[in-house]
Amino acid sequence: MEKEEYFKPSVTVDTIIFTIRDSEVENYRKLPEKKFQILLVKRSQEPYKDKWSLPGTFVGKEERFEEAVNRCLEEKANVKNIYLEQLYSWGEPSRDPRGRVISTSYMGLVDSNEIKIKAGKNVEDVEWFTIKLNTLKETNKENKDGYYKTEDIQILLEGKNKVLKSKVRVVKELVNGNLIIYTQILKSDLAFDHAKVLIYAIERLKNKVEYTTIAFNLMPKTFTLTQLQQVYEILLDKPLLKANFRRKIADMVIETDGQEENAGHRPSKLYKFNTNWQPHVF
């Protein structure tokens, strides 16, 4: 095949930046509620002008993907030096009205108290949105090869003065021992296919919380065990027994000499991540 016969798609990177932030409470004796949030930017250019989206950018000809991601976050939202990992590539032919654009997504986790977001290049605004997911409908069918499951999920992203609504259908099909997962956007207030990208990132994060230390990227340098448990419960979307949780993370943390300041209750001991922790090998 001649070189000229190869088409040349454009390449982009999109970033899903998660944080967990405390909400304000009137009763100083009550622990603040923690909210699972995502960073979105409001586009200032077509396509999808004035729509909210994940921070993204085209990759330069001589630029590595990681360089493009870091450049994008710093230029558009004043975010830098955070934990990032590559997730997945998205290449549906119709995903971008500008033509064939293939995007690789990256997930980032950050303690939002450590950064000050600010709208930058090609961005009208930047904001943290609280994530709420609701299952609207589920189906489960067994067949001779395995099973076929569908779940319709409503995504609510709550900002300061707005709520963005999206609806996706996640299909999981087991065929001869192979699990196939794909997502369809039914409607979305987000630009491009970013509702699909967001759902994929949340699922990946939940899975990794079970067997890695990824959750500590959302924590400050020192924290209480109650604060840590709250973060795990949000990420796993379920309550955890205090005794069981503390037993499981016992060797992942180190007790410090500090205590929680400005606490309306009895001060709790502060801990930090054990950088020497190793996964258990059985």
Return d(Cα 170, Cα 264) in angstroms, integer: 43
In a domain, 159, yes or no: yes
HSE-CB of 122 using CA atoms within 13 angstroms: 15
What is this structure's pTM? Answer: 0.91
Same domain as 196, residue 83 = yes
- Residue identified by tokens 């939940």 is 206
Whole-number average pLDDT of the chain: 91
Same domain as 16, residue 101 = yes
The pLDDT score that the predictor gives to residue 32 is 75
Same domain as 240, residue 158 = no
What's the CATH code of the domain at 254? 1.10.10.10
Q: Measured between alpha carbons, how far is residue 66 from residues 40, 63, 111, 170, 226 in Å?
A: 19, 8, 20, 29, 34
Using pLDDT thresholds of 50, 70 and 90, give the confidence band for residue 16: very high
**Three-state SS for 37?**
strand
What's the CATH code of the domain at 102? 3.90.79.10
149 and 138 Cβ atoms separated by less than 8 Å = yes
Segment (H or E) for 54: none
Same domain as 15, residue 111 = yes
Range of the domain at 13: 3-135+154-163+190-209
Using pLDDT thresholds of 50, 70 and 90, give the confidence band for residue 5: confident
In a domain, 140, yes or no: no
Give 61-114 pLDDT, tens digit per residue.
999 999 999 999 999 999 999 999 999 999 999 999 999 999 999 999 999 888
Same domain as 130, residue 108 = yes
In a domain, 184, yes or no: no
Enumerate residues 6+ apart whose C-beta is below 8 A from 211. Answer: 279
In a domain, 279, yes or no: no
Return d(Cα 190, Cα 246) in angstroms, integer: 38
Burial class (CB in 10 A: 0-12, 13-18, 19+), 13: buried
Enumerate residues 6+ apart whose C-beta is below 8 A from 139. Answer: 148, 149, 150
Same domain as 197, residue 256 = no
Total tally of structural domains belonging to the chain: 2
In a domain, 173, yes or no: no
Same domain as 98, residue 8 = yes
pLDDT at 218 over 80: yes
Enumerate residues 6+ apart whose C-beta is below 8 A from 276. Answer: none
pLDDT at 213 over 80: yes
Give 138-160 pLDDT, tens digit per residue.
999 988 888 899 999 999 999 99
Burial class (CB in 10 A: 0-12, 13-18, 19+), 262: exposed
Return d(Cα 34, Cα 24) in angstroms, integer: 9
Helical packing angle, 225-236 and 194-209, nearest 10°: 130
In a domain, 19, yes or no: yes
In a domain, 168, yes or no: no
In a domain, 147, yes or no: no
pLDDT at 27 over 60: no
Return d(Cα 84, Cα 68) in angstroms, integer: 12
Same domain as 234, residue 131 = no
Same domain as 242, residue 125 = no
Same domain as 91, residue 224 = no
Same domain as 158, residue 243 = no
pLDDT at 15 over 90: yes
pLDDT at 282 over 50: no
